[in-house]
Amino acid sequence: MKVIIAEKPSVARDIADVLNIKTKKKGYIEGRGCTVTWAFGHLVTLLEPGEYDPALKRWSLDTLPFIPDEFKLKLINNRGVDDQFRIIKTLCEQAEEIVCATDAGREGELIFRYILALCNCEEKPIRRLWLNSLTPDAIMSAFKDLKDGHDYDSLYAAARCRSESDWIVGLNSTRYYTVRHGRIGGGGDRVLWTIGRVQTPVLAMIVERDDTILQFRPQPFWELTTHYREVIFKYTGKRFIKIEKAQALLEKITNQPFEVTTITAKKKKEQPPQLFDLTTLQRELNKLHGLSAADTLTATQNLYEKKLVTYPRTDSRYLSKDMKPRVPEIFEQLKAVRPEQIAQLNLSKLVFTKRIIDDKKVTDHHAIIPTGVKPRILERNEQLVYDAITTQFIAAFYPVCIKNITTVDSISNQVKFQAKGTQIVDPGWTTLFPKKKQGTVNDQTLPVFEKGETGSHEPFLRESKTIPPKHFTENSLLGAMEAAGKFVEDDTLREALKERGIGTPATRAAIIETLLRRNYIRREKKQLRCTDMGRCLIALIQDPLLKSPEMTGEWEEKLKQIERSKLSPDDFMGGISDYIRGLILNSSAGRLNSTRWGSCPFCGKEIIKGKRAYGCSGWKDGCNFVLEPDCKGVTLTEKQIQVLLQLHILPYPVRIEDEPRMLILSTQGMIMDLNLPSAKRQKKTDKSA
């Protein structure tokens, strides 16, 4: 008997239908010598410390770090899991061959292999079904090309390392920071500080951005511009920090003639957009419609299970060569949905550029594209996502957009100016998308100018102020995670940095939702802002690597190397274990220096004690930081002052109006009074790590 294990019941039913397997039983479908059964996503997880040793149920610094010699597995504690697992185990024990039909990726492989391990059936012959879509043709084609299951051993090794490294870092650091820094009141209440290998660097990015905005002080500047023939010309030099210099130049050109010196016209070609991977799809839907990354992933997964789009959890924006014959067929089917748009394409002569077809840039799965199946009734989010994927697919094969960029250089009394204008010659692919709002300077419509023409003009100064960076949105945060914190808009540069991203396309949405659920960040319309709890946690963590996006990006890159069999899993896990041992050892060794007060949060210089307050030793250089011991109705002790200034945190029992509080000295020199929930009001489990 051949047993096929799918990740979800719906996928199992699709496979059974294609293979003409009809007899339905409790927990499986059988027929024609095959049995199709299913998981409910993850059925199996790692044991918690207390299940290795009952003494480890108590959270204590003395038992840290805890790293099992061998990780063990158990069923997750969800309704129906026990019954379904018993069915799967019985079928696997009877099977002559087991086919893995879970999602074709790292987590899908982990689900299958963990089930196999807990069933004690790892020695059974296994085969791998690798699906890019759930259409009947795709399923049948994949079954004709079943792979040896052990061809994916390295993928499983990477998945297992991801799971175990998250357990080691998350559990040990969560226990350490909760035990050491969680006590906030005399009654024994604790705050549960949850730390994660991936989530904490993401939180640190948000806190750093919010702190930068808080610290930002707008600086005024002036720009010299002039009106000539209803066109705005800008001074070609730098903007002015001092108005006196700007005023002097304004006076120099006032009532002076204005002359056009050169006119340059260039044709610019804008290439069609590339196909979507999951992250760019999530960013686009967040930018255009405000959908969260999680909502976009859910909608795309639903479309995949409805056979409308290909596999969603992909990090590639390219198709492989073997997809070429399939593309015209998909367009033929899509005529029922987009007849006018597809009518503009010559389906017998589609142009497959390197921006579309590149085998080297297709790893596990190609880009997300429609399958050609006509949709029926879709929910709002599903419709938005389907429309975006379909439009992007059509646009990729449309002609380039051709623009004329005209640059007009001019001069007035030896002061140089320039104006730019854009004219669309052939809109090409841009006809498929809403028109962008025109800019006021570079996209203005220019009249016909003649070289050497002169005339009067109206110069003026435009006052403005520097602006801080913008708060993260899900769109920009996903971009920053993809580039390991080095957020850039340029697709090519982002592609080059992609190998060092935080998380994977499949997990980034869940990371954001985890931070929201734990109240470390909050949504404000489209923005993602850190909460006081989130800022407090980042202030607590002294180890820079635990907060480093680049370090986490390097870990993710090593996981990819394990997938490619270029790095030993033991080497990676050895590095993770050494790291967590060092983190706890170094953090435990961190003690207050009783001979100094601390450093200034403004400039970093030493703090000195005055008659009534504590201040920065750099006051002669203009630093005005002062910390008074009376704060929020509490008089801080000298030790508490040292804690605030040396650690920027006060993890000692402080009660204000009978409420447990924690005081934080922020990087802006402000004392934040944080009312914290106790651990009694939070469910403290190892899973929360």
The residues assigned a catalytic role are 311
* 562 membership: H or E segment, kind and range: helix 549-563
Contact status, residue 56 vs residue 49, Cβ threshold 8 Å: yes
Sign of CA dihedral 426, 428, 433, 436: negative
What are 426's strand-pairing partners? Answer: 402
Give the separation between CA 117 and CA 624, rounded to whole angstroms. 63
Tokens coding 163: 């799971």
Separation of alpha carbons 281 and 647, rounded Å: 41
3-state secondary structure 4-48: EEECCHHHHHHHHHHCCCCEEECCEEEECCEEEEECCCCCEEECC
User: How far lies 500's CA from each of 283, 481, 497, 561, 622, in Å?
Assistant: 18, 9, 6, 11, 41
- Dihedral of alpha carbons 630, 636, 638, 642, sign: negative
d(C-alpha 148, C-alpha 152), whole Å: 8
The CA angle 392-398-369, to the nearest 5 degrees, is 30
What are the residues facing 531 on neighbouring strands?
A: none
Of 230, 260, 7, the C-alpha closest to 109 is 7
> Taking the CA of residue 401 as centre, how many other CA atoms within 13 Å lie in the half-sphere pointing to its CB?
18
Cβ burial of 355 (10 Å; 0-12, 13-18, 19+) is: middle
Cα 142 versus chain centre, distance? 31
Among 297, 46, 43, 42, smallest CA distance to 170 is for 46
Contact assessment for residue 544 and residue 534, using Cβ atoms and an 8 Å cutoff: no
Contact indicator for 59, 48 with CB cutoff of 8 Å = no
- CA–CA distance, 549 with 555 (Å, rounded to integer): 10
* Token pair of 10 as six digits: 């719906």
Closest CA to 367 of 464, 505, 272: 505
Return left, alpha or beta for 421; rule: phi > 0 is left, psi -120 to 50 is alpha, else beta.
beta
